[in-house]
Amino acid sequence: MATTADELREQVRARYAAAATGGCGCNDDGSCCGNACCEGGAGDFGEALYDRTQRDALPEATVLASLGCGNPTAVAELREGETVLDLGSGGGIDVILSARRVGPTGTAYGLDMTDEMLALARRNAADADVRNVHFLKGVIEAIPLPAESVDVVISNCVINLSVDKPAVLAEIARVVKPGGRIGISDVVAEDRLSAGERAERGSYVGCIAGALSQGEYEAGLEAAGFERVSVEFTHEVADGMHGAIVRGVKAR
């Protein structure tokens, strides 16, 4: 029997709840604790994608909780006083790094649907002593923030997990201010791969089967109202599937 969207979302939630309570993510050799993270080889996901200076400035638990496929804080240009939103904030690493970048006059929001991840992120933010953060419970397909309230949306290996990508892209466009930016890390497929071929390369909850292709990402963001859209591959995580940096600016 086919899996419904609700069942798929519940599988994703359960997988990341287990990751949050399992106490570890990807090991240096690429293996994972208790099904804890996206599927890939050594260095494809997690803390290895952050430079030593960033890792050293964070509590160890925050670094270990990293389950992303890139480092959106390295690509998103964040300025003092800005409001940043991280979609699928997990253990909070990118929210904490962003909060420091925008400073005390700025705000960093993290949005996640998994209670266990929200609890972990709040603990990590307290340990890192950052105060300008807010962790919100909700789904990225219906962002619980007002229209045009965010300067920059970041996300790290989450949009591939969504069961309704057009809704996510429309919601990003709704909450970003005109002229606001996106800096997203995600798993992205080469255009030559069909949906079936993507699914042969890994599971949905493991961040592979649900990936958009490069062309689908670009077209979806342009349809949602973004300009200067680019999807740049950074590292291959499976045959024809890549960690990628997705950028764009909302039309004024």
Ligand X SMILES: C[S@@+](CC[C@H](N)C(=O)[O-])C[C@H]1O[C@@H](n2cnc3c(N)ncnc32)[C@H](O)[C@@H]1O
Nearer to ligand X, 67 or 102 (CB): 67
54 part of the interface to ligand X, by CB under 6 A: no
* Residue 153 beta carbon to ligand X: minimum distance, rounded to whole angstroms: 12
Interface pick for ligand X out of 90, 106, 210, 248 (rule CB under 6 A): 90
From 54-62, 89-97, 174-182, 216-224, span contacting ligand X (CB under 6 A) = 89-97
Of 52-60, 61-69, 126-134, 243-251, the window that binds ligand X (rule: CB under 6 A) is 61-69
Tell me the C-alpha distance between 163 and 204, whole Å.
10
Q: Is residue 220 at the binding interface for ligand X, with CB under 6 A as the rule?
A: no
Tokens representing 37? Answer: 């993270």
- Residues 82 and 151 sit within 8 Å (Cβ to Cβ): yes
- Judged by CB under 6 A, which of 40, 68, 180, 248 binds ligand X? 68
Q: Which is nearer to ligand X, 160 or 213 (CB)?
A: 160
Name which position in 124, 162, 213, 214 contacts ligand X (CB under 6 A): 162
114 touching ligand X, by CB under 6 A: yes
What character string, x for contact with ligand X (CB under 6 A) and - otherwise, covers 117-156?
Answer: x---------------------xxx--------------x
User: Quick one: which of 102, 161, 224, 241 contacts ligand X (CB under 6 A)?
Assistant: 161
Would you say 61 or 252 has its CB closer to ligand X?
A: 61
